[in-house]
Amino acid sequence: MEPGGCEAGPAVKAVAAVLPAGGSGERLGGATPKQFCTVQGRPLVSYTVRAMERVSWISDIIVVVSPENIETMKSIIEKYGHKKVTVAEGGITRHRSIFNGLKLFSENEFSNHLLQKPEVVIIHDAVRPFVEEDILLKVVMAAKEHGAAGAIRPLVSTVIASAADGCLDHSLERAKYRASEMPQAFLFDIIYQAYQQCTDYDLDYGTECLHLALKYCKTNAKLVEGTADLWKVTYKRDLYAAESIIKDSLSQQICIITDVKEAVVQVGFLLHECLRSQIKVEAVSVSLSKGNSHLQNIFSGQCYNFVCINDKKYATEEIQQLVNMLEESNIPLLHPVVLISAHLNSLENTSFSIDLEELTRMKKFAREVKRKNILVYGLLVQCKEKRSPWRGQEQGNTAPRLANNRGIGT
Amino acid sequence: MEPGGCEAGPAVKAVAAVLPAGGSGERLGGATPKQFCTVQGRPLVSYTVRAMERVSWISDIIVVVSPENIETMKSIIEKYGHKKVTVAEGGITRHRSIFNGLKLFSENEFSNHLLQKPEVVIIHDAVRPFVEEDILLKVVMAAKEHGAAGAIRPLVSTVIASAADGCLDHSLERAKYRASEMPQAFLFDIIYQAYQQCTDYDLDYGTECLHLALKYCKTNAKLVEGTADLWKVTYKRDLYAAESIIKDSLSQQICIITDVKEAVVQVGFLLHECLRSQIKVEAVSVSLSKGNSHLQNIFSGQCYNFVCINDKKYATEEIQQLVNMLEESNIPLLHPVVLISAHLNSLENTSFSIDLEELTRMKKFAREVKRKNILVYGLLVQCKEKRSPWRGQEQGNTAPRLANNRGIGT
């Protein structure tokens, strides 16, 4: 979908993004630059790349890193299966790095890259991982119209100017000013022309791209109110916050998959009812062996937790099919995928036994897919009486009437 | 200790603090104002009060809350054993709330309060819990000299001014400006006089106390560079960050207490050696029954984790004594206190048994003190061979040679 397809306004021919990621992380107080710090086991820059990558109308993403981090960045791209990404070598300041990134689009004749020059280029910090498609679209459309655009936020603190003696000179009226945030977007020709005219002083001491577009191209950027998500990971406390936000997002969605047998569908329905007050739940009844476009939609909606319910004793095959579908869907597996395979022991049968060979097979499978960031758990559910499990709950009991719950897996 | 006792400069006669806590928490996006949101089970404002309270030279703390939260605040003071605190009723804006707080010092003749008018008053946000004594001292001393002083921080984002059409008018050169943060401090007479002269417009739309001192008393506040800890809990992500910082601070210190028997002291020494590369460890050898001033120092140094090692089978009595000392030390128990009682089974004796009656007594005791925010755990350690436990490690093994570790407790 092109930006013009979503909102009124002219369609944009091509949109690319440049992510400066050359910072040294001084303010974080650690040795690792903040963009490479891991959050839930994954480098921060990978979350930001993913946030841009999932936007279908962004064609290329340039990540600009300092020379010593080029190999690190390449291995991150490899490890997390990022597409559309090109690594560029950064300069010694922020503006020099962004300029280097932009050059990749303009100097194709001299290089091996075959990157199409975009009509609009987004500039976004590698340390702002929670950017949403909505604000990206807004700044791109505003840049198409005004030549430049940037996200802004209200000031959290009053801004003051100090006199030479270290005393207060004056304070700014907070309501008249805004914090300039990212993303920003520019007609490529405008920002590139601005950088070409920059003085060394600009390149060494400046930080604000909107300022360059104004100074050198007389382009007054359109300012777009952004949401609180746009904040920049600056201090160690911000890494803590990012970690908690990502953890939170992990547990917000679950998809219950059942086959089409009535008894199993009913269990799925009851589980759905139990869970829906706590987390976002989808439920589908499909034959996994046939594939399903509805499931594809669920994957791309970033639901990565599944409970597959069936009445076979083991269902390694079904789980294998789900894993295959996940892999074929070609989505980068950002967060761990959790698959719980719940096996209802034959509803008519009260005997209970574990097939050790099957169990070993399942555990081996779980170990294998764990490497792909897919966590498989198995659950054997035995009903105490000859009736549907969870029926106890329908009658007002809070605990399901299950005689045994046995966990297997990783 | 008075401020003047720490640094060169005149001693300050009396220092009080006003904490505006009347905010509605709009930016947080929740129903509970952020100062009353719980972090690790305790309201944020309680952490901030504690941070001020532990500074011996601050005599009074006024917490200004909106009328509907007065009872909540009083119950927080009661529950967490805060001292020195008076609750004041806030106004409808930040400036009106601070003014109300200041009035308590000046209108004693009309009220029941017997609060001494301070020479210097600190104003600090209830949602900045990580303020340290060092910066408080700096702003107080600077206020004594200059009449007003406030903490500042570098700007994280560029500040821009927008034109009437929503486009960029100009951006400020980041290096010339600073974010005005808290704490601030004032000679009481200056800030009170400024508030008395304020217009309604100031009281309704202003937020910056330094600005009032400049406008009405021609006092140019001294600006003091603060540390990154001074940040204000504004958004939900800041609550996550505060939670992680507090969790981190919980595990940074541990005190190992042994009695004076040689074998036990040796185990304590080895445990100290094992742990010291990971966390800050103190070790003391004392008879708990006699009390100990060294332990008192440890409490006030905010070390709230203890491992008591002894060679009795159970040591409920010793643990009870430690709990008594903690309570008598009269320190507010901010974080949960963790007490691990490690009992070395007679080093000469390889038999092992559990006295169920003693175990029940210990568990009951653990349940009781848990209400006071003290978590007691017990550990029975049985040595496999007739030699010191941990000696295995001295020989290069990583696992201590213990046959049994049994946990009891909460």
Residue-range domains of chain A with CATH = 3-247 (3.90.550.10), 251-409 (3.40.50.360)
Contact by Cβ (8 Å): B261, B292:
no
**Crossing angle for the helix pair B94-106 and B188-197, nearest 10 degrees?**
120
| Residue B286 confidence (pLDDT) | 72
Q: What CA–CA distance (Å, rounded) separates A279 from A251?
A: 7
Query: Shortest Cα distance from A370 to chain B (angstroms)?
Result: 28
Burial bucket for residue B232 (CB in 10 Å: 0-12, 13-18, 19+): middle
More confidently predicted of A162 and B28: A162
Q: What CA–CA distance (Å, rounded) separates A5 from A8?
A: 8
Residue with tokens 């049968």, as numbered in its chain: A349
Does A177 contact B172 at a Cβ distance shorter than 8 Å? Answer: yes
pLDDT above 70: residue B204: yes
Q: Is B124 on the interface with A (CB under 8 A)?
A: no
Q: What is the ipTM of this complex?
A: 0.70
| Residue B394 confidence (pLDDT) | 36
Does B159 contact A170 at a Cβ distance shorter than 8 Å? Answer: no
Return the number of other C-beta atoms located less than 10 Å from residue B223's C-beta: 26
Contacts for A107 with CB less than 8 Å, ≥ 6 apart: none
Query: Shortest Cα distance from A17 to chain B (angstroms)?
Result: 20
Nearest-Cα residue of chain B relative to residue A244:
B240
Does B210 contact A171 at a Cβ distance shorter than 8 Å? Answer: yes
Q: What CA–CA distance (Å, rounded) separates A85 from A60?
A: 6
3 state DSSP class of B408: strand
Does B155 contact A156 at a Cβ distance shorter than 8 Å? Answer: no
Contact by Cβ (8 Å): B291, B325:
yes
Q: What CA–CA distance (Å, rounded) separates A47 from A238?
A: 14
User: What angle is formed at CA B39 by the lines to CA B71 and CA A279, rounded to 5 degrees?
Assistant: 105
Confidence of residue B291 (pLDDT cuts 50, 70, 90): low
More confidently predicted of B50 and B152: B152
pLDDT above 60: residue A404: no
| Residue A54 confidence (pLDDT) | 83
Confidence of residue A337 (pLDDT cuts 50, 70, 90): confident
Which tens digit of pLDDT belongs to each residue from B323-346? Answer: 887 777 655 555 667 888 887 765
DSSP assigned state of A362: H
Which tens digit of pLDDT belongs to each residue from A166-222? Answer: 999 999 988 889 999 999 999 999 999 999 999 999 999 888 999 999 999 999 999
Q: Is B214 on the interface with A (CB under 8 A)?
A: yes
More confidently predicted of B359 and A336: B359
Best to test chain A binding among B158, B222, B234 (most A CBs inside 10 Å): B158
| Residue A324 confidence (pLDDT) | 81
Confidence of residue A354 (pLDDT cuts 50, 70, 90): low
Which tens digit of pLDDT belongs to each residue from A214-246? Answer: 999 999 999 999 998 899 998 889 999 998 888
| Residue A42 confidence (pLDDT) | 85
B218: left (phi over 0), alpha (psi -120 to 50) or beta: left
Contacts for B154 with CB less than 8 Å, ≥ 6 apart: B174, B178, B179
Q: Is A338 on the interface with B (CB under 8 A)?
A: no
| Residue A342 confidence (pLDDT) | 81
Contacts for A73 with CB less than 8 Å, ≥ 6 apart: A21, A45, A63, A65, A87
Who among A150, A208, A234 is closest to B156 (CB)? A234
| Residue B268 confidence (pLDDT) | 83
Residue A2, token pair as written in the block: 């092109």
User: What DSSP string runs through A94-108?
Assistant: HHHHHHHHHHHHH-G
| Residue A284 confidence (pLDDT) | 77
Nearest-Cα residue of chain A relative to residue B158:
A180
pLDDT above 80: residue B223: yes
More confidently predicted of B386 and B70: B70
Which tens digit of pLDDT belongs to each residue from B113-133? Answer: 578 899 999 999 999 999 998
Query: Shortest Cα distance from B212 to chain A (angstroms)?
Result: 10
Contact by Cβ (8 Å): B244, A237:
yes
More confidently predicted of A333 and A401: A333
Who among B171, B177, B214 is closest to A180 (CB)? B171
Does A157 contact B168 at a Cβ distance shorter than 8 Å? Answer: no
Taking Cα atoms as reference points, which of B110, B84, B169 lies closest to residue A176? B169
Contact by Cβ (8 Å): A12, A144:
yes
Nearest-Cα residue of chain A relative to residue B225:
A166
Does A160 contact B243 at a Cβ distance shorter than 8 Å? Answer: no
pLDDT above 70: residue B386: no
A44: left (phi over 0), alpha (psi -120 to 50) or beta: alpha
Q: What CA–CA distance (Å, rounded) separates A3 from A13?
A: 9
Q: Which residues from A are below 8 Å from B244, CB to CB?
A: 237, 240-241, 243-244
| Residue B86 confidence (pLDDT) | 95
Nearest-Cα residue of chain B relative to residue A142:
B167
Q: Which residues from B are below 8 Å from A228, CB to CB?
A: 27, 235, 237
State the average pLDDT for chain B.
80
Span A5-21, average pLDDT: 73
Span A84-101, average pLDDT: 94
Does B168 contact A244 at a Cβ distance shorter than 8 Å? Answer: no
Residues 276-295 of B with CB under 8 A from A: none
Q: What CA–CA distance (Å, rounded) separates B113 from B116?
A: 9
Residue with tokens 């739940």, as numbered in its chain: A281
Does B168 contact A207 at a Cβ distance shorter than 8 Å? Answer: no
Confidence of residue A29 (pLDDT cuts 50, 70, 90): low
Which tens digit of pLDDT belongs to each residue from A366-401? Answer: 888 877 778 888 877 765 544 444 443 333 333 333
More confidently predicted of A130 and B270: A130
Residue with tokens 């917490």, as numbered in its chain: B63
Does B180 contact A169 at a Cβ distance shorter than 8 Å? Answer: no
Confidence of residue B393 (pLDDT cuts 50, 70, 90): very low
Q: What CA–CA distance (Å, rounded) separates A409 from A375?
A: 8
| Residue A57 confidence (pLDDT) | 93
Q: What CA–CA distance (Å, rounded) separates B129 from B232?
A: 8
Q: Which residues from A are below 8 Å from B235, CB to CB?
A: 228, 231
| Residue B327 confidence (pLDDT) | 74
More confidently predicted of A124 and B348: A124
Which tens digit of pLDDT belongs to each residue from A33-62? Answer: 899 998 887 899 999 998 998 888 999 999
| Residue B56 confidence (pLDDT) | 86
Confidence of residue A302 (pLDDT cuts 50, 70, 90): low
Does A27 contact B228 at a Cβ distance shorter than 8 Å? Answer: yes
Does A223 contact B167 at a Cβ distance shorter than 8 Å? Answer: yes
Query: Shortest Cα distance from B241 to chain A (angstroms)?
Result: 5
| Residue B9 confidence (pLDDT) | 35
| Residue B344 confidence (pLDDT) | 76
More confidently predicted of A330 and B149: B149
pLDDT above 50: residue A88: yes
Query: Shortest Cα distance from B350 to chain A (angstroms)?
Result: 37
Q: Is A27 on the interface with B (CB under 8 A)?
A: yes
Does B159 contact A166 at a Cβ distance shorter than 8 Å? Answer: no
Does A220 contact B169 at a Cβ distance shorter than 8 Å? Answer: yes
More confidently predicted of B47 and A385: B47
Does A176 contact B158 at a Cβ distance shorter than 8 Å? Answer: no
| pTM across the whole model | 0.71
Q: Which residues from B are below 8 Å from A159, CB to CB?
A: 155, 159, 172, 177-180
Confidence of residue A348 (pLDDT cuts 50, 70, 90): low
Residue A42, token pair as written in the block: 């994954």
Strand order in the sheet with B374-383: B280-285, B253-258, B305-310, B337-344, B374-383, B402-409
Of all residues in chain A, the percent with pLDDT exceeding 90 is 42
pLDDT above 90: residue B44: yes
| Residue B4 confidence (pLDDT) | 47
> What are the start-end ranges of the E strands in B319-373?
337-344
Span B85-90, average pLDDT: 95
Alpha-carbon torsion A40, A41, A42, A44, what sign?
Answer: positive
| Residue B111 confidence (pLDDT) | 56
Residues 346-375 of A with CB under 8 A from B: none
| Residue A75 confidence (pLDDT) | 95
Residues 156-195 of B with CB under 8 A from A: 156-163, 166-172, 174-181
Q: In one letter, which amino acid is B336?
A: P
More confidently predicted of B220 and A404: B220
A·B CB contacts under 8 A: 158
